[in-house]
Amino acid sequence: MKTIYFVSRRMNKARREHLTKIANKSGFFKVTTDVREASIVISQESNGKEIVEYLTKNKLITDDVTMVTDDVTKQFVDVSWFIACMKEKSLVPMEKHHKLQFKQSIEDGVSPSKKPRRDEKARMAMYACQRTTPLDHYNQQFTDALEILEEHAFYRGDSNAEARALSFRRGSASLKALHHKVTHVEQLANIPYVDSTNSSKIGHCKKVIKEILEEGFCDEVEGVRNSEFYKSMKIFCGIFGVGPSTGRKWFHDLKMRTLEDVRKEDVHLNKDQAVGLKYYEDLNEPLLLEEANHIAKLVRDTCVALRKDTTVTVVGGFRRGKAKGHDLDLIISHPIEGREEGLLGLILDQLKEHFVYTEKKASIKKVTGPSDSKNTMDHFEKCFSIFRFQPQWVGRLCPSGKSWTAKRVDLIVVPKSQFAFAVLGWTGTKHFNREIRRYARSEKKIVLTSHGMYDLDTKESYPAETEEEIFNKLGLKYLPPNKRCC
């Protein structure tokens, strides 16, 4: 039986408690709360010098420091050794990389063998729009975890929530661009927004990944996933028309928790929300590609019949190659500038038996100059609708004897001169847009929106007819939609 001690530096209480519990159950470890009794001192994300300093500063040891470091009866190891023992259900040999370093080694603790070798040129590009991000990637376990933290920050919406959410998404986006699965924390070196190379502080994303690598899960992520707040907000924000601020009001002020609460409480709902609640179950079933294609064809045939040569382009997740999505996004345009005007009303009228709900948003024609960079809303005439989809159209049965199921469809009407920009913006992802816009502004002094692009200083606008031309103008290698899945 080995007597071990967990150092609280960079190891929170919940984690120490968890590790203590599994250690005491192992049969070969006994956890002590007095470091002096321990034969093995276990710590996390620290070197030997930091641990001795920490223990001394917190008066956990009073001995002369050299006594501790030279103490042949004590071994100082990283928590990865402990985890390896738990996995093997036995005491595994302590390898060199498990043992804490005491000497300030060359280049701040990076052993020569771990120094990056020739991979300097393989360094990942900083902006997601400069690299390929496929739909399927190797690190979903990690990106899912990071995106839960992103979503949670978005739900909380407190003062620095936006920055917090963004940092998780940036970390996740980097992992999606890797060509291999991360199996060791060392592989995170130099990965943008994951490895904080220029600071001694170990990044939050990295900590999450490290914990998953070592234990199969991350305490913080599981804490969020199981929290009442997250679970309720996920339900509330899953209602069409409900965003985080409404969700928070329901959760905090009205103490609502479930969909039943929303249904029974006499809570005020706007038009979108009322219909969103009514079709909650239908709208939370994914829309499948073949269903999307069917709706797109119906809209296209209708448009062409109404006005010859009208184009209907599938954008959103389906254009990126997804097999299912939460809605169908369609851009309606016409090869002759101006011929798209007035189309939306005609389409909705023609298809009125197919729509359960249509919420038309008028276009804002006179955009007062370059809009502020924060506001990413576009000004196209559009309609957020709910469509009556009949599963038998694609040879499926409708669940529970209904003859149709509700599906979300967005129709966006775009003049030809803005078509390429609108397609780029509506193809997404949301993060890809954020990145290409940030890149354009910071690196090229060009403002890019779903309407066009122009020079930040001279305000000269740069037309483009295709997405390729936009990438070109920005000095970016063209990425097809299925490589923008960040």
CB 44 within 8 A of CB 78: yes
Out of 351, 450, 451, 483, which residue is the one contacting ligand UTP (CB under 6 A)? 450
Q: Which of residues 313-332 bind ligand UTP (CB under 6 A)?
A: 316-317, 322, 325-327, 329
211 binds, among ligand UTP, Mn ion, none (CB under 5 to 8 A by kind): none
Longest CA–CA span in the chain (Å) reads: 89
Task: Write down how long the chain is.
Answer: 486
How far lies 406's CA from each of 80, 199, 258, 291, 327, in Å? 50, 50, 21, 12, 10
Q: Which of residues 429-448 bind ligand UTP (CB under 6 A)?
A: 429-430, 433
Closer residue to ligand UTP, CB minimum distance, 311 or 376 = 376
Q: How far is the CB of 19 from ligand UTP (least distance, A)?
A: 38
Q: How far is the CB of 481 from Mn ion (least distance, A)?
A: 12
The whole-angstrom distance between residue 288's C-alpha and the CA centroid of its chain comes to 22
133 binds, among Mn ion, ligand UTP, none (CB under 5 to 8 A by kind): none
How far lies 408's CA from each of 52, 147, 211, 287, 325, in Å? 59, 24, 38, 8, 10
Residue span binding Mn ion (CB under 5 A) among the ranges 149-157, 225-233, 313-321, 436-444:
313-321
DSSP lists the bridge partners of residue 189 as: none
Residue 62, amino acid: T
Structure tokens at 347: 């389409």
CB 81 within 8 A of CB 92: yes
426 binds, among ligand UTP, Mn ion, none (CB under 5 to 8 A by kind): ligand UTP
Q: Which of residues 329-358 bind Mn ion (CB under 5 A)?
A: 329
171 binds, among Mn ion, ligand UTP, none (CB under 5 to 8 A by kind): none
Task: Determine, following the binding rule CB under 5 A, whether residue 316 of this chain makes contact with Mn ion.
Answer: yes
192 binds, among ligand UTP, Mn ion, none (CB under 5 to 8 A by kind): none
Task: Determine, following the binding rule CB under 5 A, whether residue 425 of this chain makes contact with Mn ion.
Answer: no
Question: What is d(CA 254, CA 271) in angstroms, rounded to the nearest whole number?
Answer: 20
Closer residue to Mn ion, CB minimum distance, 405 or 427 = 427
Structure tokens at 234: 């996920």
Closer residue to ligand UTP, CB minimum distance, 48 or 428 = 428
428 binds, among Mn ion, ligand UTP, none (CB under 5 to 8 A by kind): ligand UTP
81 binds, among Mn ion, ligand UTP, none (CB under 5 to 8 A by kind): none
Instruction: Assign 302 to helix, strand or coil.
Output: helix
Residues 321-338 as b or e (16 or more Cβ within 10 Å = b): bbeebbbbbbbbbbeeee
Count Cβ atoms below 10 Å from residue 476 Cβ, excluding itself: 17
Closer residue to ligand UTP, CB minimum distance, 174 or 433 = 433
Q: How far is the CB of 434 from Mn ion (least distance, A)?
A: 16
Q: What residue is closest to Mn ion based on CB?
A: 316
Q: Which of residues 376-415 bind ligand UTP (CB under 6 A)?
A: 378
Residue span binding ligand UTP (CB under 6 A) among the ranges 68-76, 112-120, 425-433, 475-483:
425-433
Q: Helices (H), strands (E): how many in the chain? A: 20, 13
Out of 195, 211, 327, 378, which residue is the one contacting Mn ion (CB under 5 A)? 327
Q: How far is the CB of 407 from ligand UTP (least distance, A)?
A: 11
Count Cβ atoms below 10 Å from residue 119 Cβ, excluding itself: 9
Question: What is d(CA 89, CA 68) in angstroms, rounded to the nearest whole number?
Answer: 29
Closer residue to ligand UTP, CB minimum distance, 76 or 318 = 318
9 binds, among ligand UTP, Mn ion, none (CB under 5 to 8 A by kind): none
Closer residue to ligand UTP, CB minimum distance, 40 or 485 = 485
How far lies 343's CA from each of 55, 334, 415, in Å? 72, 10, 11
The secondary structure of 385-410 as a DSSP string is EEEEE-GGGGT-PPGGG-S-EEEEEE
66 upstream amide cis, omega within 30 of 0: no
Q: How far is the CB of 481 from ligand UTP (least distance, A)?
A: 10
Closer residue to ligand UTP, CB minimum distance, 203 or 425 = 425
DSSP lists the bridge partners of residue 385 as: 358, 409
Q: How far is the CB of 429 from ligand UTP (least distance, A)?
A: 5
Q: H-helix or E-strand containing 42? A: strand 40-43
388 binds, among ligand UTP, Mn ion, none (CB under 5 to 8 A by kind): none
Structure tokens at 445: 């002094």
How far lies 397's CA from each of 296, 297, 354, 391, 402, in Å? 20, 20, 18, 6, 9
Task: Determine, following the binding rule CB under 5 A, whether residue 481 of this chain makes contact with Mn ion.
Answer: no
130 binds, among ligand UTP, Mn ion, none (CB under 5 to 8 A by kind): none
Q: How far is the CB of 327 from Mn ion (least distance, A)?
A: 4
Chain positions contacting Mn ion, by CB under 5 A: 316-317, 325, 327, 329
Chain positions contacting ligand UTP, by CB under 6 A: 316-317, 322, 325-327, 329, 378, 425-426, 428-430, 433, 450
